[in-house]
Amino acid sequence: MTETSELVIEEGVLPSSDDFLRDALAGLTAPRKTLPTKYLYDAEGSRLFEEICGLPEYYPTRTETALLQTIAHDLAASISRHAVLVEFGSGASVKTRALLDAAPHLEVYVPIDISQSALDEAAESLRADFPDLQVVPLVADFTASHALPAAADGRPHVGFFPGSTIGNFSPEAAGHFLKSALATLGADSRFILGVDLAKEPEVMVPAYDDAQGVTAAFNLNLLARLNRELGADFVLDAFAHRAVWNEAESRMEMHLVSRKEQTVHLGGREIVFTEGETIHTENSHKYTYEAIAVLAAKAGWRIEESWVSDPFPFAILLMSAA
């Protein structure tokens, strides 16, 4: 690890274009074409995602934010004095502010994210608004377990994973993540998890296929990235965004559908598409309350308290290491 006083960068964490090419080729030459979801979030993708969060159809962000604000004082009351808040995949740390406002006894904040620029910006703005808070960003892949920075030593640890980002994992990978978060946080820790719950497809589908086409642009940006960064020759107009509810797997899926038979070049390879063939780019699993509770319990977390919003069910769980 390379360590400075205010920023910790995990070795080998910064993604290279070699990784991107290798991952993209593996996905695009598979019998059912896929591209890894994490590549949706370059600077442009992150900007588009922020825009999605403000769309009328995209209920999760505003639902969770409202619930967090409502329960912030209850959450704060169960957070010990001098605690460290550790956020997984913190991005711009927007939702964190509701907790920080309600829990001034939080003294250290460790945002973990793969994007150093997002961490730098978030840290600067939080330090300005919370001058007594020690902000110690960790540039790392939040899905793996990590040694926390020295500033967290000897303090109670509270994990924070809002945004239903856990829905991007398969249930199996979500279980692994919850276990590795427990390994990072330690035996006396607590964990605050935000999870979107399954609801009517009439509500979920438009959330992933909005009228303004922002989600379509977000999805298509993946192909634009392949062109920009790896010299591929995707014609963006020749692919359409599609959002589908997969009832059997209880998940929203995003695909890019080839509008015609076509051949695309990437890294010296020819990739052939039939008309209607899709590239699967994202899963957003929607849990029942019971299903997420079972997953958490299997990973070693005990639910202390939970809140579910209405009319759009979204759950926030306060758990402790069992």
- Residue 55, sorted as left (phi over 0), alpha (psi -120 to 50) or beta, turns out to be beta
User: What is the nearest approach in angstroms of ligand AVJ to the Cβ of residue 55?
Assistant: 9
What is the chain's percent helix, strand, coil content, to nearest 5? 40, 25, 35
Q: Does 96 bind ligand AVJ (CB under 6 A)?
A: no
User: What is the nearest approach in angstroms of ligand AVJ to the Cβ of residue 113?
Assistant: 13
- Measured from the CB atom, the residue of 65 and 165 that comes closer to ligand AVJ is 165
Residue from the set 149, 159, 167, 171 that interacts with ligand AVJ by CB under 6 A: 167
Tell me the window of 97-105, 144-152, 160-168, 222-230 that interacts with ligand AVJ (CB under 6 A): 160-168
Nearest-angstrom CA–CA distance, 110 and 151? 9
Nearest-angstrom CA–CA distance, 202 and 183? 39
Residue whose CB is nearest to ligand AVJ in the complex, by number: 284
Residue from the set 165, 184, 278, 309 that interacts with ligand AVJ by CB under 6 A: 165
Q: Does 111 bind ligand AVJ (CB under 6 A)?
A: no
Q: Does 284 bind ligand AVJ (CB under 6 A)?
A: yes
Q: Return the structure tokens found at 288.
A: 């029942």
Q: Which of 223, 226, 212, 214 is nearest to 257 (CA)?
A: 223
Q: Does 168 bind ligand AVJ (CB under 6 A)?
A: yes
Nearest-angstrom CA–CA distance, 109 and 136? 6
Chain positions 187 to 246 lying near ligand AVJ, rule: CB under 6 A, are: 208, 215
Residue from the set 163, 204, 221, 271 that interacts with ligand AVJ by CB under 6 A: 163
Nearest-angstrom CA–CA distance, 291 and 178? 14
Chain positions 52 to 91 lying near ligand AVJ, rule: CB under 6 A, are: 52, 60
User: What is the nearest approach in angstroms of ligand AVJ to the Cβ of residue 51?
Assistant: 10
Q: Does 164 bind ligand AVJ (CB under 6 A)?
A: yes
Sign of the torsion formed by the C-alpha atoms of 47, 51, 57 and 59: positive
- Measured from the CB atom, the residue of 63 and 258 that comes closer to ligand AVJ is 63
Contacts of 192 (CB under 8 A, 6+ apart): 75, 99, 158, 159, 160, 161, 162, 316, 317, 318, 319
Tell me the window of 11-19, 143-151, 164-172, 301-309 that interacts with ligand AVJ (CB under 6 A): 164-172
Measured CA distances, 228 to 29, 38, 234, 266, 318 (Å): 20, 17, 10, 11, 42
- Measured from the CB atom, the residue of 52 and 174 that comes closer to ligand AVJ is 52
List of residues contacting ligand AVJ (CB under 6 A): 52, 60, 163-165, 167-168, 208, 215, 282, 284
